[in-house]
Structure 1
Amino acid sequence: MDHRQFWNLVRSRWIVLIAFALIGLIAGSAYVLATPREYTAESELFVSAAGVDNTSDLAQGATFSQQQARNYSAIATKELVLDPVISSLGLDSSVNALARSVSATVPLNTSIISIVVTDSSPSRAAKIANAVASSLVDEVVKLVPKKSDGTTPVRLEPVQNATVPTAPSAPNTRISLLLGLLAGLVVGLVLIILREIASTRVRSTDQILEVADAPILATVVNDRAAAHGPLLDADLPSTVRSEEFRQLRTSLLALERADPNHAILVTSSIPREGKSVTAANLAIAMAATGRSVCLVDADLRTPAVARLFGLDAARPGLAEVLEHGTAVADALQVWGSTTLSILPAGSVPSNASELIASDAAVVLMGTLLLEFDFVIVDSPALLPVTDGAVLANIVGHALLVVGAGRVETRELRRSLELLGSAGGTLVGTVFNRAPARSLGRFRASYVRKDHSTTVPTVSESAAE
């Protein structure tokens, strides 16, 4: 995953990241509420050398007091010092337990001993800090050898008595909430990346190109407005959706000049990738050029074309032409005042595969190619049934619709293998229901601005 794919993933999953960030904040808040409050009090002692009366002695005394300060800080948490504190304050605690709440440090290059006490009671923390400092002074006096005049060579003087803290030192609310927020974001980011890596669904044009040795002829974005009116207007108004199918039409006409086969099979790997809507809009776009176009609904199992165009479903269709020899002219229906003729599926037969594979189907295709400038065949999906592969052999050229986030990579690969083994030629693919970011920043901006609808005949989801 490169940086572009990473940021595209973040933009597409920002709601998930926000949700995890909120969960992290809630977890941080719960931690703050559940954690007992701790208060910290600090007292300080200054260690100095006694009897210093000249500059040389002052320098030596400073070095000596710093060394002694480190020594005395080491015994501040020992039983020798803490046991008197427990007795004098009447604490219900052992020496080891009290030692865990007391720390004594000497800042670098100083003679100051800092005694820090943490406790659940602010007043008790201050009392213990002062008591430890007082006990340490008393014990040092006992431990240090006396001079000949009975005085000690070092002095410990309090420079700061501990005061009662007004705010808890732990938990730190700001840090806890910040860490919770960051942890939530990190967990959310890791999960969506792992899900993206583990997912086998096709979500980008790069994935299609890795599998299919054919160009992507068009990218059709996922337009919510089109879900209620998936068909284009006959006059092909200037909308983003119209431009997408104009691009597809242009690509196919360019291929037609190189190979004058005027028939194209529109299929997909699995159902609900948008093949029927793609075939219908491609037919409308072709007819808008003035060419005579025939749209054939060869999906005899789950036909959708008649419902998309609002045609008379009671009239005979492809099934009647193939099974009963109904004349093609009696089955064709013209859409409005356009040059688009539609051969609907007709009644749903019990032997769909046999009808599709019959000689009558081959003869019908030849007849339609003679009568129309362009023939578009809506085929069943390739993987569930064999009809699509058989039709690919009859029609010759196939256009594969790839539904974003719908089909898996292995399914796409398998459908390409079926097309190849059936003798069909894949002329290209259509990346359907793609996120707007797939179009680039300029076209994506038009997608966000354009919310025009078309003929509200049947929803796109219902058509597939």
Structure 2
Amino acid sequence: MESNRVLRVIRYHWMTVIVLMALGASAALAYAWSVPREYTARADVFVAVTGSSTTGELAQGSNFSQQQARNLSTVATREIVLAPVIDELGLGDSTAELRSRVTTAVPLNTSMISISAVDPSPREAARIANLVAAKLAEVVPTLSPQVDGTSPVRLRVIENAVPPNLPSAPHTPMLVILGALGGLVAAAVVVLMRLMFGTRVRTVEQAQEASGAAIIGTVSSDRTADRAPLALLSAPHSLRSEDYRRLRGNLRFVQASQAHRVFVFTSSVPSEGKSTTAANAAVALAATGASVCLVEADLRRPSLGRILDLPPDLGFTSVLAAEATLDDALVAWGPDRLHVLLAGPIPPNPSELLESDRALEILESLREAHDIVIIDAPPVHPVSDAAVLARVFGGAVLVVGAGRARERDVRRAVARLTSVGATIHGTVLNLARPSRADRRSYTTYSAAPETPRRTRGRGTATPADPGPAPEGDDRPAADALREERSPAGRR
């Protein structure tokens, strides 16, 4: 599983890898273009020993010449050689500065000395290398021992330096390769940090692997969701509306196969869209003719009042505090059989209220009175309310916000739910990025509208006249749904 996580992170961040490698290569290329060009010219000299006639003397002379080549290679960078070069060429360098630009090398088992000079000018580099070779040949007789008044060691220039055509530095191809490798290392660090500190859930595969539960719904991301959270009302033909219809079908399947009538909607952390998902699921289920009750059990951060455009002055806490009856607090919403119980005023002790016998009695009575009850519970972290509700009422629907929840958060939420004996009916991936194929299909084909109108007020709930519906559609026509909302009431 860990290897799958690594591959998934790499697959998701492949663009990051490419961008960082491109940036590294570009930075190296820019550096190569910014630094001055340097050219290297090389002159080769041969060290010869005179006076050898026999085979033995020749062998000894060869060994002697190789030893002298190694010794003279160090002399080539000394002041005795470099000072005349500076004077003759009129260089502005000191001996130490010129020494840093002149190098010598003796190939293994040879009597040759290679003298290399580096300069921004290819012509000047060749002049320096040739003159160093010439001056070294001049000083050799003064340094080697004399035999019959002559030196047995002689230097002969066997190859003069010529101005090079290509610069020796910077080595642009190598720098570009190193820059790309540096970008690859940076990308590896990014992947490692993702693995160490948690990867955000963004795909269906990640959500299913992290939760260990089946994906029963995927809700597409929509920029209009904040100002128009009820997609079935604001955009009945949208891809997001169809996503909620598919979620409805899967919830009905769970209800039929497992005989569950209560679904506790929760999430691992705040701001994953569980309340919006619960509200749209309730609206979609009520559209099929089922009697649905939407209960807001998130007593710390209630939001269903804003989503459904209902006043939050009366609700669950009002009934618990005996300030209102359940019939007074329950709101009939829309033309279908949907009733809403908001959270009400925020209490100082939400956990104690939700775990009280009175709260459980209220929720049990709502289950008996409706076909389906959807409970909008708080996130699993950092409070335990959702786990308690899921345990009492059979199970939870875990909403995972794509790009907002981390895999470790989802795993911790699942562990907390299962530790108290709660069942996870399924996972809903919210705020998912729709594929291009889905977007294209919805430009040419749209689902029939399926949108209720909210009615509220004091008195008996009165559904608005839905008007004629299209053939084969279980909802009123879209024009009728956009009419002026007529008042209904609390039951």
TM-score by length of 2: 0.69
- Cα deviation, residue 276, structure 1: 0.5
Listed as ranges, the matches of 1:286-305 within 5 Å are 286-305=285-304
Indicate which of 373, 383, 403 corresponds to 2:401: 403
Letter matched to residue 25 of structure 1: S
Q: Does residue 445 in structure 1 map to residue 436 in structure 2? A: yes
Listed as ranges, the matches of 1:99-178 within 5 Å are 100-105=100-105, 114-119=114-119, 124-138=124-138, 156-163=156-163, 168-173=167-172, 175-178=174-177
Residue number in structure 2 paired with 1:84 = 81
- Cα deviation, residue 297, structure 1: 1.8
Structure 1 range deviating more: 85-94 or 343-352: 85-94
Letter matched to residue 446 of structure 1: A
Residue number in structure 1 paired with 2:390 = 392
Letter matched to residue 276 of structure 1: S
User: Alignment partner of 2:285: what SS?
Assistant: helix
* Alignment deviations for residues 105-163 of structure 1 (CA, whole Å, 9 cap, x no partner): 57899997643212456555333211122234445677899999x99898835543444
User: Alignment partner of 1:103: what SS?
Assistant: strand
Residue number in structure 1 paired with 2:201 = 203
Q: Is the 8 A contact 1:267 1:379 kept in 2?
A: yes
Q: Does residue 42 in structure 1 map to residue 42 in structure 2? A: yes
Q: Does residue 253 in structure 1 map to residue 244 in structure 2? A: no
The 2-side partners of 1:15 and 1:156 are apart by: 58
User: Alignment partner of 1:366: what SS?
Assistant: helix
Residue number in structure 1 paired with 2:355 = 357
The 1-side partners of 2:30 and 2:328 are apart by: 74
- Cα deviation, residue 265, structure 1: 0.8
Q: CA RMSD in A?
A: 4.8
* Alignment deviations for residues 340-397 of structure 1 (CA, whole Å, 9 cap, x no partner): 5131415314254444334443343333333332111111223334433343344332
User: Alignment partner of 1:324: what SS?
Assistant: coil
CA spacing shift, 1:236–1:101, aligned 2, 3 Å:
closer
User: Alignment partner of 2:399: what SS?
Assistant: strand
Residue number in structure 1 paired with 2:463 = none
Indicate which of 423, 427, 430 corresponds to 2:428: 430
The 1-side partners of 2:378 and 2:119 are apart by: 74
Q: Which has the higher contact order (CA 8 A, sep 6+)?
A: 1
Residue number in structure 2 paired with 1:272 = 271
The 1-side partners of 2:43 and 2:119 are apart by: 14
The 1-side partners of 2:74 and 2:36 are apart by: 24
The 2-side partners of 1:72 and 1:281 are apart by: 89
Q: Is the 8 A contact 2:119 2:125 kept in 1?
A: yes
Q: Is the 8 A contact 2:47 2:68 kept in 1?
A: no
Percent of matched pairs sharing the same residue: 34
Letter matched to residue 369 of structure 1: R
Q: Is the 8 A contact 2:69 2:111 kept in 1?
A: no
CA spacing shift, 1:289–1:49, aligned 2, 3 Å:
farther
- Cα deviation, residue 295, structure 1: 1.7
Letter matched to residue 14 of structure 1: M
Structure 1 range deviating more: 17-26 or 276-285: 17-26
* Alignment deviations for residues 32-65 of structure 1 (CA, whole Å, 9 cap, x no partner): 64x56533223345789999xxxxx9xxx9xx99
The 2-side partners of 1:68 and 1:194 are apart by: 58
Q: Is the 8 A contact 1:147 1:153 kept in 2?
A: no
CA spacing shift, 1:156–1:411, aligned 2, 3 Å:
closer
- Cα deviation, residue 197, structure 1: 1.3
User: Alignment partner of 1:233: what SS?
Assistant: helix
Matched pairs, number: 439
User: Alignment partner of 2:231: what SS?
Assistant: coil
The 2-side partners of 1:5 and 1:133 are apart by: 59
Q: Does residue 383 in structure 1 map to residue 381 in structure 2? A: yes
The 2-side partners of 1:75 and 1:68 are apart by: 10
Q: Is the 8 A contact 1:18 1:185 kept in 2?
A: no
Indicate which of 338, 361, 368 corresponds to 1:341: 338
The 2-side partners of 1:23 and 1:171 are apart by: 16
CA spacing shift, 1:299–1:146, aligned 2, 3 Å:
closer
The 1-side partners of 2:17 and 2:226 are apart by: 24
CA spacing shift, 1:175–1:334, aligned 2, 3 Å:
same
Residue number in structure 2 paired with 1:29 = 30
Letter matched to residue 241 of structure 1: R
Letter matched to residue 30 of structure 2: S
* Alignment deviations for residues 251-286 of structure 1 (CA, whole Å, 9 cap, x no partner): 333322332121111012322121101112222332
User: Alignment partner of 2:182: what SS?
Assistant: helix
CA spacing shift, 1:218–1:299, aligned 2, 3 Å:
same
The 2-side partners of 1:427 and 1:123 are apart by: 81
Residue number in structure 2 paired with 1:461 = none
CA spacing shift, 1:380–1:217, aligned 2, 3 Å:
same
The 1-side partners of 2:261 and 2:438 are apart by: 31
Q: Is the 8 A contact 1:39 1:170 kept in 2?
A: yes
CA spacing shift, 1:19–1:231, aligned 2, 3 Å:
farther
Q: Is the 8 A contact 2:81 2:136 kept in 1?
A: no
Q: Is the 8 A contact 2:289 2:337 kept in 1?
A: no
- Cα deviation, residue 20, structure 1: 7.2
The 2-side partners of 1:366 and 1:7 are apart by: 43
CA spacing shift, 1:111–1:87, aligned 2, 3 Å:
closer
Q: Is the 8 A contact 2:75 2:81 kept in 1?
A: no
The 2-side partners of 1:68 and 1:420 are apart by: 86
- Cα deviation, residue 87, structure 1: 2.5
